[in-house]
Structure 1
Amino acid sequence: MSTKSYYMENVNRINAEEIQIPKGTKEYKVVSLFSGCGGMDLGFMGNFHFLNKEYAKNPFKIIFANDIFKQAAQMYEDNFEQPVERRDVKELDVDKDFPKETVDVVLGGFPCQSFSYAGKRKGLSDPRGQLYLQMIRVIDHYKPKMFVAENVDGIRNSRKNKDGQNVDTSALDTILKDFDNHGYNVQYHVLLAADYGVPQMRRRVIIMGIRKDLGNIQDEYYPMQTYDETGKKTGRKWLTAKDAIDDLWDKVNKTQIPNQTSRDISKAKFYPGRKMQGNNRISADRPAPTIRAEHHGNIEAHYRTTLPDENDMNGWRRLSVRECARLQSFPDSYNFTASASSAYKAIGNAVPPVLGWNIARSVYYTLSKLGQ
């Protein structure tokens, strides 16, 4: 089955910022898989501020979270006071290890390394590329009203099947068909984080599924774009790196904002004349490039320098943990309680909370329209 049957150019959209949630609205119970440090979960919970803008509370309650990356799990617990199951999801017994409650929504940003353009592109032949099946196993158990899955844009062009053979259909074809076969009307859409107030050019595939007895894909809503490059379409320009982090440049070791110390900045060297990942500065007047998880210290440099000659790498410094968090739209109240290397990785793996908030509001709108 072609992904064209799941991808709708004219997908239903709703302006998430205009959705009103009445007082007394019931809370939807959520199981979160591959939770990481909780970017998507924070978006679904809401009740945070980013760049002086409020992202109001959402009617979703996380009742279970899971991630095998222990440092990310600890950060999640430290910030949300919600326990995280750290065992491999494949080892969990759905009858014994998960809450015995009705679940309304299952979230899952299943691992993306096997589909990423920056990786080895092993696709479904990589065991990590098959972890969406664990999400399906949990969905089969709970039969939630909806699910939301997230992955990199490269999943649309990954052509290796589970046996490692090159095939005509993409990994996304297979994944969507499998979700469909387990009782959900599914569709996907590609969302650009910058279009929703995130100062980053992060493009992600968002898969939504609604249980077939409740509605069709025509009943699902995605968040409407609220920012654009010039501001002519939406009335608001993309937020730039300068909008997000300029105030932090001279505050290293001089602020109460967490994760902006000299210990929170990679000391990886720069190499003049060489083209390699991270061996460059981000632009001030554009959204940042995608913050990568697997950069091994080679995170990009700040657009500012300490020397008059901007091309002299001796004046460059790499982005701090807090600056990366800002570019990912994490609020300054979120403390990445880990080493810089673990914090960088967790941030790079996360869904931008502001994007998650917009998705959450559209999920709420979908469920409320269906009387759920």
Structure 2
Amino acid sequence: MNYIDLFAGAGGLSEGFIQQGFNPIAHVEMNKEASDTLRTRLVFHHLKNVGNTEHYLKYLKQKISREELWKTAPQEIIDSVLNNEITSKSIENIFVTIDEQLYKKKVDVIIGGPPCQAYSLVGRSRDPNKMEGDKRNYLFRYYAQFLVKYKPKYFVFENVLGLLTAGNQVYLKEMLSLFGEIGYAVDYKILNAEDYGVLQKRRRVVIIGRKGKAKFEFPVLEKMENKWQIKKDILTDLPVLVPGQEMNIANYTTKKLNSYQLATKCRNGIDYTTQHITRMHNERDLEIYSIAIDKWLNNQERLKYTDLPKRLQTHNNVAAFLDRYKVVDPLGHSHTVVAHISKDGHYYIYPDKNQIRSISVREAARIQSFPDDYFFEGGRTSAFKQIGNAVPPLMAEKIAAATKYFLLNG
């Protein structure tokens, strides 16, 4: 079951497919740090498959360099990640490189979703032109060229909810029409990550296509009962942090795994995780965070910017984005993690007066359902951006399981 991942990001969608036994032929990603994350993860899977993850664990503990780690895998695994932007000028060269990777194999599935800013409701609200004319609106046309070239039996296309309304649906309608014209029957659904074990309110549009003209219906995905809570199930076994603290190796505070960790295999059999690092905050922000935490924990009220004392208000705009400070709900599921978390932590405040700070890289990764041995290259800011842009691996695995069923059962 071979696949190509386009606009692959840090590999959240790909991770779900690998967990279901799919074989990656190529990943195409324009961001250098995300491409490096993909390479490191592919090396991990190679070492796991050959029964020797010792070098990967040495890398996590910074005992060997990344170059030394990568040399433990065949060079074709490193080369299978194409750090390229997909454009009209680059696409033919990308095809040539992928063809070299195929070695006469066929491509069964193409997965991925173009960058979401062009369809994002927030992106449109912040852009004076409402994203009209943005070249990213039409990246799906390049996606279609890959379908024409490799003729996979199925494809999986993921994007933000705004796709359904962007440009008065002109992009969605053109997209579905184009997929039909090149020979794919398609259907789409809005998926909620919470239904698949992710402790996050995250809804996304997923389009699945099947080669041929026969009518295709979106599969029923296996759901997980999700009564888990953010704080007790995915935060409390990580060490206490103060703002600006970096734990490159974080030993768990509990040895016993809870039901969430057992069900999702979040903890991977080693007694530590990595990248438990958080940003520094100034005194003003810490005071605002404290007020926000009090309001939420005591009254389940969200802080409005206009509620703050005047001395803490530094923004001139007091009519929009009044919820720019937001506490993660400790007793429920998090609000959506987005790439803006790389800019500041105001929207992702840790829910505890004893740790007044924004969440760490590892905490964000857990909220996105990345396993604890997943390492994000490029430093803290890049890691946050990669995590915020990702497809939650747990949801991805359910999509992959349905795709696998289709492939194996005709």
TM-score (norm 1): 0.76
Q: Distance in 1 between matches of 2:95 and 2:149?
A: 8
Q: Kindly tell me: are residues 201 and 95 of structure 1, through their superposed partners in 2, closer, same or farther at Cα, counting changes over 3 Å?
A: closer
Q: Distance in 1 between matches of 2:375 and 2:97?
A: 28
In the alignment, residue 389 of structure 2 is paired with which amino acid? Answer: N
Tell me the SS of whatever aligns to 1:98: helix
The equivalent position to 1:293 in structure 2, one of 328, 339, 344, is: 339
Identity %: 30
Q: Kindly tell me: are residues 97 and 124 of structure 1, through their superposed partners in 2, closer, same or farther at Cα, counting changes over 3 Å?
A: farther
Unaligned runs of 5+ in 1: 1-27, 47-57, 160-167, 228-235, 307-314
1:62-116: CA deviation from partner (whole Å, max 9, x where unpaired)? 0100101101111111121243111111113154222244100001121101111
Q: In the TM superposition, what are the counterparts of 1:1-372 in structure 2 within 5 Å?
A: 28-46=1-19, 58-81=20-43, 82-83=77-78, 84-90=81-87, 91-93=90-92, 95-99=95-99, 100=102, 101-120=105-124, 122-123=130-131, 125-159=133-167, 168-212=168-212, 215-218=214-217, 220-227=218-225, 236-237=226-227, 239-250=229-240, 253=247, 254-255=250-251, 256-260=272-276, 264-269=277-282, 270=285, 272=288, 273=308, 276=322, 278-295=324-341, 296-298=343-345, 299-306=347-354, 316-370=356-410
Structure 1 vs Structure 2 CA RMSD: 2.1
In the alignment, residue 281 of structure 1 is paired with which amino acid? Answer: V
Tell me the SS of whatever aligns to 1:30: strand
Q: Distance in 2 between matches of 1:358 and 1:258?
A: 26
Shift of 1:338: 2.2
Q: Distance in 1 between matches of 2:14 and 2:4?
A: 10
In the alignment, residue 204 of structure 2 is paired with which amino acid? Answer: R
Q: Distance in 2 between matches of 1:190 and 1:31?
A: 23
Q: Kindly tell me: are residues 173 and 96 of structure 1, through their superposed partners in 2, closer, same or farther at Cα, counting changes over 3 Å?
A: same
TM-score (norm 2): 0.69
1:329-363: CA deviation from partner (whole Å, max 9, x where unpaired)? 00001112321100000000110001000100011
Q: Alignment length, in residue pairs?
A: 303
1:305-336: CA deviation from partner (whole Å, max 9, x where unpaired)? 22xxxxxxxx6200000000000000001112
Shift of 1:170: 4.2
Unaligned runs of 5+ in 2: 44-76, 252-271, 289-307, 314-320
Larger Rg: 2
Tell me the SS of whatever aligns to 1:185: strand
Q: Distance in 2 between matches of 1:181 and 1:78?
A: 38
